Amino acid sequence: MRNATDLMVQYAEYHRDRRNIATHFIGIPLISFAVGALLARPAFELGGITWTPSGVVFLLAAIWYFTRGQFGLALATVIVNGLLFALGHRVAELPTATWLTVSVGAFVVGWVFQFVGHYYEGRKPAFVDDLVGLMVGPMFVVGEWLFALGWNKPLLAEIERRAGPTHLRDLTRPAA
């Protein structure tokens, strides 16, 4: 089982261009919100609790984040994902056409941002090589936000030691 540091390093290797990282600050939350919204229907009763597929996915993802180590990063990621999924549940209360338009629209726009970012990077998205990248993406964005606030400088230093520093790629030259 890979820990949060190893996962963040592996993901960071695909995300060293600052423009790519910036697009992920928009794309990944949009995608997470959209997944939460799209899976917020139907609701079902189990053990006296009302569940949705979104709630099940959120619970399983939270367990996964907390089992990677880095408790603070896991907690922050679960809180952010929880807020995005809760917002998705609110959208699921809207009429079906509105719910689908907002949810699918957010999903598509989020992926457009992701692929524009990877154009700047000159590299394919991490999940193409390892589907776990779909889980690491939200953790990476939350981590980058926390690093910008000065949190866990040793973790940031380890990521940069192993993956290299961030940069701006010269788009006139082919990617390495």
Position 68 scores a pLDDT of 96
Give residue 115's Cα distance to chain centre: 14
Q: How far apart are CA 47 and CA 36, in angstroms?
A: 22
Torsion of CA 2, 61, 144, 102, to 10 degrees: 140
CB-based burial of residue 60 (10 Å sphere; 0-12 exposed, 13-18 middle, 19+ buried)?
A: exposed
Average pLDDT for 141-157: 95
User: What is the three-class DSSP state of 44?
Assistant: strand
Looking at the predicted structure, is the pLDDT value of residue 72 above 80? Answer: yes
Position 162 scores a pLDDT of 97
Q: How far apart are CA 153 and CA 158, in angstroms?
A: 9
Q: For 91-136, how does the pLDDT look when each residue is reduced to its tens digit (9 = 90+)?
A: 999 999 999 999 999 999 999 999 999 898 888 888 888 789 899 9
User: What is the three-class DSSP state of 11?
Assistant: helix
Q: Where along the chain do its domains lie?
A: 4-161
Going by the DSSP 8-state scheme, the letter that residue 128 receives in this structure is G
Looking at the predicted structure, is the pLDDT value of residue 176 above 70? Answer: no
Position 121 scores a pLDDT of 85
Q: Which residues pair with 167 in a beta bridge?
A: 17
Q: For 2-34, how does the pLDDT look when each residue is reduced to its tens digit (9 = 90+)?
A: 999 999 999 999 888 999 999 999 999 999 999
Q: Which residue type is seen at 174?
A: P
Average pLDDT for 74-100: 98
**Which residue, 110, 113, 120, is CA-closest to 88?**
110
pTM flag (> 0.85): yes
Going by the DSSP 8-state scheme, the letter that residue 75 receives in this structure is H
Q: How far apart are CA 38 and CA 14, in angstroms?
A: 28
With residue 76 as reference, give the H or E element that holds it: helix 71-92
Q: How far apart are CA 123 and CA 101, in angstroms?
A: 30
Position 126 scores a pLDDT of 81
